[in-house]
A and B are shown apart, each in its own frame.
Chain A
Amino acid sequence: MFRKHANAWLLATVSATAIAASATAPALADETCQSPYMAKITGEEEFVYVWTLGMDGVGDGSDKVVTVDVRSGSPTFGQVIDVDSVGGQHEAHHGGLTDDRRHFWVQGLDTSMIWIFDIATDPANPKLVRTIDDFVEKSGGVVGPHGAYALPGRMMISGLSNTDGTGRTGLVEYTNDGEYIATHWMPTAEEPRGAENAAKADGYGYDARVLPRRNVMLTSSFTGLDNYMRPLGEVVNDPEAMKAFGGTMVLWDFHARTPRKVFEVPGVPLEIRWAWGENNNYAFTTTALTSEIWLIHEDENQEWHARKVGEVGDPSKMPLPVDISLSADDSTLFVDSFMDGMTRIYDVTDPFAPKLIHEKKIGAQVNMVSQSWDGERVYYTSSLLANWDKTGADNEQFLKAYDWTGKELVPRFEIDFLAEGLGRPHLMRFGSRDLYGS
């Protein structure tokens, strides 16, 4: 544990006033979408880890962690420098880093497998150190491990489904080294668990994120395995299937892991981003099916509300907003929409009135967006789900990197994941050797 360390950490969870005042150093670079419990790094990110879904006929066809060198001046800048296949196709989707950033958890939505990679020993060369193949059994029936969110010494895995294939699901906690701790099922109208407005609770899950200084956790909702493993064209043309999507968010007492209030947010609210400012008690989400930006906020009477504050593109054309990224100063919100391949960048200085300040077509399809802590570098990937990605020439699969000037996106590099024999790139996480010392 005692290691030489080139740059100081910004200690995690610095919102307690006295601690914030004495935190070691300002964070200069890191993705902004991470758990507040996580150690932060200074300096530019050096590596981007890309959790990639295998494709038949592309390379070895297996899901894999792809490591990209993003060190300025490196002879391999903008190139793939390491590939770690996990064997087979599992619907690689999301994952996350532990609070000490020593391990990268990645998950498969189809097989409910979890792989834990050591990224500390050699950040340029992740190594698989543990595979969890009993997630469903240990969790008591949760299926489709989705997000992996760092808590102190633990990981919170938000599920998407259950053994029936529907969307009733839960949150599952593990130790950092992969030992099961507990399951917390989402509330439903039938099992409200004390939540206000629980008559509207639908039990779906997607994202789970914590605002520690207010002791609240917010969760969002998607759909079950029966829908997300089915071709998108079939789903949208099946009225019954279209009824099986979530339209709620839940505010929890995080310490007690107890649901406290259910919000109606129609149209599948997906990613959640809490503001970072110490007085900014709000979070953004976007709704996939209705193309809206929503704000979940606390008013002056300490009451919490969910409110539509904007639209993404032309909702009638169903652009399908997917990933979002809020800048570290809470001023700028990036919104990617899958169907039109666009990224739209909003000034959210007034969170109740987002203003579009730039838009750009990234590709025929686009999904995830990750920005550096200083907001100067932005990375995009293309894949949504194996059966929902576009086909033919529109099935572009890429990682694209840009500089964000505050007014426009300037290309830095791109990698064609099909030409490179890799597959469908999805989740990104940043790494740096400075986290672990020389």
Chain B
Amino acid sequence: MTRNAPLLAALATLLLAAPAIAHDDAANPTHTVTGPADGYAFALAAPGTYSLPRIRPAADALLLDEFGAAHHLARLFRDRITVMAFMYTRCGNICPVAAMRMTDLQALAGEMPEVAGKLQLVSVSFDPAHDTPARMGEYARHLRADDARPPRWLFLTAPDEETIEPVLDAYDQPVMAKANPADPSGPYSHLLRVMLIDDAGQVRNIYSADFLDPRLVLNDVLTLIGGTSPAARTRQGDPRQ
């Protein structure tokens, strides 16, 4: 048993419950996913038919990749559209669900040439004491597609809690230590926040569990790639415009 056993067991359950994901023909998307969008009252709005106003600047931080190399988030954000999730590998609750959706997102985007090279996925642990670069690497191997096709998926952690705490504050990411650190679902409570960050380093959407559907996220990515001007479209239906 690895030390990630609870997480991996949860992931295995979720992935087995999901439809099979094929990887055979990039020209003809074959991935079939299920997600919260299946329960929506209306079909997803088409890319570019709605606006994604700037929410806040995405803060910089110096974090470590799975090999221990340091990266500035601000540099990683340049020229790419980023879907970034805060998580921890000991989570047996909401993180495995988010991870499954990220896996689907990577697979779907991989079949879309106009998206794959522009998009990156980033998972950031807020549990650096346990989520060392090596452990993040192990976690990544269970999630990331085997092939080297884009979009890339980075797994980052911090050298210590003192480094990650201001990052959580900057992204308004609540994390609480549970009274029972041996809780089988993990030692932390946290609200799921997954950020969509544009190539100028601005947060453009924040997904809760009910909106972390890879098809919806891809529509948002396409909306950003389409080059709509958020400033001109921020005030929807403004009678003065």
Contact = CB atoms under 8 A, between A and B. Distances in A.
A397 interface: no
Contacts of A7: 179
Given A24-B185, A154-B55, A212-B210, A437 B193 contact: no
15 contacts: A1-B168, A5-B177, A5-B178, A8-B183, A12-B208, A16-B97, A24-B93, A140-B235, A152-B206, A168-B239, A182-B236, A183-B235, A214-B39, A215-B37, A257-B50
A183 B240 CA distance: 12
A175 interface: yes
Interface residues of B, number: 55
Given A14-B209, A304-B41, A437-B176, A140 B238 contact: yes
Interface residues of A, number: 64
Contacts of A177: 172
Given A14-B209, A181-B55, A215 B40 contact: yes
B94 interface: yes
Contacts of B192: 11, 13
Closest 8 CB pairs of A and B: A185-B237, A212-B210, A256-B45, A256-B50, A215-B40, A182-B53, A100-B174, A5-B176
Given A13-B210, A253-B45, A100 B236 contact: no
A191 B237 contact: yes
Nearest to B165: A1
B179 A5 contact: yes
A11 B93 contact: yes
Given A2-B175, A176-B172, A181 B191 contact: no
Interface in B202-238: 206-211, 216, 234-238
A6 interface: yes
A1 B45 contact: no
Given A1-B165, A1-B173, A99-B191, A257 B236 contact: yes
Contacts of A16: 36, 97, 209-210
Contacts of A102: 174
A341 interface: no
Looking at chain A's contact residues, the main secondary structure is: loop
Nearest to B10: A22
Interface in A184-203: 184-187, 191, 193
B94 A11 contact: yes
B176 A258 contact: no
B144 interface: no
Contacts, number: 179
A60 to B, nearest CB: 34
Interface of B: 10, 14, 17, 36-37, 39-42, 44-45, 49-51, 53-56, 92-94, 97, 126, 161, 165, 168-169, 172-179, 183, 185, 189, 191-193, 206-211, 216, 234-240
A281 B81 CA distance: 35
Contact of B236 (A152, A185, A212, A302): A185
Contacts of B179: 4-8
Contact of B50 (A139, A168, A191, A258): A258
A152 B203 CA distance: 13
Nearest to A303: B41
A424 interface: no
A184 B239 CA distance: 10
A3 B55 CA distance: 26
A1 B161 CA distance: 10
A335 to B, nearest CB: 27
B161 A154 contact: no
A179 interface: yes
Given A18-B97, A216-B41, A191 B236 contact: no
A13 B17 CA distance: 21
Given A181-B53, A185-B237, A185-B239, A39 B208 contact: no
Interface of A: 1-9, 11-16, 18-19, 22-24, 37, 39, 99-100, 102, 139-141, 151-154, 168, 170, 173, 175-177, 179, 181-187, 191, 193, 212-216, 251, 253, 255-258, 260, 298, 302, 304, 437
Contact of A182 (B40, B208, B235): B235
A1 B93 contact: no
B44 A255 contact: yes
A255 B216 contact: yes
A421 B189 CA distance: 41
Contacts of A258: 45, 49-50, 236
B169 A1 contact: yes
Q: Which of B39, B126, B177, B193 has the most CB of A within 10 A?
A: B39
B32 to A, nearest CB: 17
Contacts of B39: 213-215
A304 B178 CA distance: 41
